[in-house]
């Protein structure tokens, strides 16, 4: 078996088109740190926003006299550097499996394996983003609150809405998005005080919907992390845990502006991507007695929290 172009790896356009269109609604990393337009190199510069840039308003309220020019505003930005990293996986397919699928008129094993690998790559991204944005050390101490005792949402006497309003009042740029871990959302949406607030009943039974929660919290989007990961070692019984855990993150992410790490418009964060996603294959003489095909998929990215001041973490609320 030889490569069709003499190179070790051949691009797979069909698979690439599939992973470009990939969408799994249970994964929310792309909504929390959305992709910026691709760049050509690994190294990149981005703008860190000092607090005074985020919160200081121009003098005179922007008023312009009849014979004067508008006040010139300087966006104070601290340039920072970063670099994207490769994240990918590969698998080998025995040639006999490929031949059998072809003879039976079944779907293409190369495409199926590539799609399964891409699902794993995106799950790994989900873990990276969750571990970054739900990490208290990402934020200043006055932008993190960890409830304890009767303040935990598992206690009917707690006040999730009051905790949210307190966090919101401490954010000068008000949140546009609420990111819930699965257990946090379950505790919030079924909490008797929340059910009572959205339904106007006793709160003894029921569950708030996402639309009701958006109106209650005054955010334009709610993202609920429901992904699970197996923490057991290979060939051991599965031990499934929530990727996102039991926290709530409030972030200010401009809705109308394009996501760009060098934009003068402050934004919570983004994902920088070098080039396109990739899907490739090459002959694998060691896949079995008859050889086979090795497939590889991945991307080159850097998840970036650009302005942690635009986030507030209610950590481990359950």
pLDDT digits (tens, 9 = 90+) for 167-193: 999 998 899 999 999 999 999 999 999
Q: Does domain 10-53+77-314 have CATH number 3.90.1690.10?
A: yes
Return the pLDDT at 265: 75
Give, in order, the Cα–Cα distances in Å from 26 to each of 131, 244, 306.
Answer: 17, 12, 25
pLDDT digits (tens, 9 = 90+) for 8-50: 777 777 778 877 777 778 899 999 999 999 999 999 988 777 6
Quote the DSSP letter at residue 72.
P
Return the pLDDT at 201: 73
pTM here?
A: 0.85
73 exposure class (CB count in 10 Å sphere: 0-12, 13-18, 19+):
exposed
Do 286 and 108 form a contact (C-beta atoms < 8 A)?
Answer: no
Helix extents (H) in 59-108: 95-104
Q: What is the domain partition of the chain in residue ranges?
A: 10-53+77-314
A 10 A CB-CB count for 62 gives: 10
Helix (H) or strand (E) holding 162, with range, is helix 160-169
Quote the DSSP letter at residue 246.
S
Residue 28 and residue 123: Cα distance in Å, rounded? 10
Sign of CA dihedral 229, 27, 271, 179: negative
Residues 277/283/284/285 CA torsion (nearest 10 deg): -170
15 exposure class (CB count in 10 Å sphere: 0-12, 13-18, 19+):
buried
């Amino acid at each position: 078996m030889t490569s069709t172009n003499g190179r070790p790896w051949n691009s797979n356009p069909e698979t690439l088109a599939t992973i470009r269109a990939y969408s799994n609604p249970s994964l929310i990393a792309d909504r929390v740190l959305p992709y910026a337009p691709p760049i050509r190199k690994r190294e990149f510069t981005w703008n860190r926003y000092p607090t005074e840039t985020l919160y200081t308003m121009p003098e005179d309220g922007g008023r312009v006299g009849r014979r004067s020019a508008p006040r010139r505003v300087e966006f104070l930005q601290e340039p920072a550097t970063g670099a994207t990293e490769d994240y990918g996986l590969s698998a080998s397919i025995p040639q006999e499996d490929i031949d059998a699928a072809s003879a039976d008129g079944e779907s293409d094993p190369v495409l199926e394996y590539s799609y399964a690998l891409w699902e794993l790559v995106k799950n790994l991204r989900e873990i990276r983003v969750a571990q970054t944005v739900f990490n208290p050390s990402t934020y200043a101490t006055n932008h993190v609150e960890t409830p304890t005792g009767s303040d935990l949402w598992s206690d009917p006497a707690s006040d999730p809405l009051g905790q949210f309003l307190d966090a919101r009042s401490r954010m000068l740029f008000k949140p546009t998005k609420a990111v819930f871990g699965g257990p946090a959302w379950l505790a919030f949406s079924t909490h008797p005080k929340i059910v009572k607030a959205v339904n106007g009943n006793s709160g003894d039974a029921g569950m708030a919907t996402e639309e009701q929660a958006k109106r209650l919290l005054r955010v334009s989007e709610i993202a609920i992390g429901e992904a699970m990961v197996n923490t057991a070692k290979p060939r051991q019984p599965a031990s499934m845990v929530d990727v996102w855990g039991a926290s709530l993150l409030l972030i200010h992410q401009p809705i109308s502006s394009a996501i760009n790490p060098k934009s003068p418009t402050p934004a919570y964060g983004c994902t920088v991507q070098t080039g396109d996603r990739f899907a490739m294959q090459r002959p694998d003489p060691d896949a079995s007695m008859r050889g086979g095909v090795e497939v590889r998929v991945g991307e080159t990215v850097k998840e970036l929290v650009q302005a942690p001041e635009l986030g507030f973490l209610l950590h481990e609320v359950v």
